[in-house]
Amino acid sequence: MTTAAGAKRRPKLKYRLVQPGDGPKLTELYQSVFNVYKSPEYWHWKYYQNPAGEPGMYVAVDQDTEKIIGEIGSIPVWIRVKGKDLLAAQGCDIVVAPAYQRGTPFFRLEKLAHAFNIDRGKHFEYAISIKLTYKIFTQRLGFKGVSPVRRLVKALNPTPYIARKLKLPFLSQPLGWIGKELIRGWDWLREIHKVKLAVVQADNFDDRFERLFNRVADNYGVMIIRDVKYLNWRYNLHPQEKYTTLALEGADGELRGYAICVINNTDVCRGRIVDLVIDPRDREGMRAILAGVLEYFYSRGVEVAAAWLLEHVSHVKVFREFGFTFKETPHDLMCRPINEETAPIKYLSCPGNWYFTMGDSDYF
């Protein structure tokens, strides 16, 4: 924007809470900044169908163009902390259009969002950040790092990697096919054939999932509450992703555990284990679930399997037995206390207290 004299002037910005009709403008903003398409239906699902309550998302609007040029805030989530159910705020959707990044929009939005969480009685805030925002949030805004986020990765089909190395398509495909069959055969000989239990696909979440969560949560200090309302909203109602739930049932019909998976076929066909819930002492059940997930991925042409788990979680040992290795990601888990009495920062910032999966972020 320029004045009559031709000098640039600072745009007039209006700051307000997100509104139900903002979906198309948010879609435009994210596509222009990140080249990622999030439909208007996605924003409605994320902000207005969440069973935990209203969003604390603030937007900055250019008053000349009426475009949304920035957004920062959080969505509410119920978390069990030391055996008590607390309402927390999950930070998400941090974006400011490049032309507006000079000045104060980022900090104005963040201040408003934080005040909202205090006013609504949230006990603490947490987020998964990238390295740049991690420095800002931990050095200037009172957040404390919990843990770097590392992913467990296993190649199921080496064809894409061979293609990048050889750059000879006529050789990459046959060599990749041989490699894929060798990996699958080795998995079967080494681990999968030892598993005597079978997983089944679950189409709906019922009370058994809630009872399983209540049994498992006692083993962890900080864990998102996976009740039926949350699971249905997070996975069954998602407007852009199709998730598959693979469940392990006991002889009495109760759930021993489950994994929720999603397959995304972009440059590489990736299979992600976005959630995983099972008693950490049930090693036999954990092996059965992971074997079932790998068979599901193999049958659908997945080339790379991945999951997020913090390294102290006992499930990691089983992942390693099945050939998964840890790789770095650009993400960190961080938190900021609001109520020190119910959610002390010393407790929240200890990674050994957390149970955290991909689905506990808003990335997948």
Q: Please indicate whether residue 197 or residue 337 has the higher confidence score (pLDDT).
A: 337
Helix, strand or coil, per DSSP, at residue 16 = strand
pLDDT digits (tens, 9 = 90+) for 42-71: 999 999 999 999 999 999 999 999 999 999
Please compute the mean of the pLDDT values over residues 168-173 and round it to a whole number.
54
Task: Give the span between the Cα atoms of 154 and 297, in whole angstroms.
Answer: 11
Mean pLDDT (the chain, rounded):
90
Flag whether the pTM goes above 0.75: yes
pLDDT at 31 over 60: yes
Backbone angles phi, psi at 327, to 5 degrees: -130, 150
Tokens read off for 273:
């284990």
pLDDT digits (tens, 9 = 90+) for 188-213: 545 555 666 789 999 999 999 999 99
Helix, strand or coil, per DSSP, at residue 64 = coil
- Topology of domain 13-122, CATH: Aminopeptidase (3.40.630)
| Strand extents, DSSP E, the chain | 13-17, 58-62, 68-81, 84-96, 124-130, 144-155, 200-202, 222-224, 243-249, 255-265, 269-278, 304-308, 325-337
The domain made up of 151-329 is a member of CATH 3.30.830.10? no
The residues, any chain, with a CB within 8 Å of residue 1's CB and separated by 6 or more, are 8, 9, 11, 64
Tokens read off for 179:
């490699």
Q: Which region holds residue 167: left if phi is over 0, alpha if psi is between -120 and 50, else beta? A: left
Q: What is the pLDDT of residue 198?
A: 82
Helix, strand or coil, per DSSP, at residue 361 = coil
- Asked if residues 315 and 309 have their Cβ atoms less than 8 Å apart, the reply is yes
Domain limits, the chain? 13-122, 151-329
Please compute the mean of the pLDDT values over residues 151-178 and round it to a whole number.
64
Angle at which helices 40-48 and 23-34 cross, to 10°? 110
User: Which H/E stretch holds residue 187?
Assistant: helix 169-190
Tokens read off for 67:
């475009």
Same fold, 13-122 and 151-329: yes
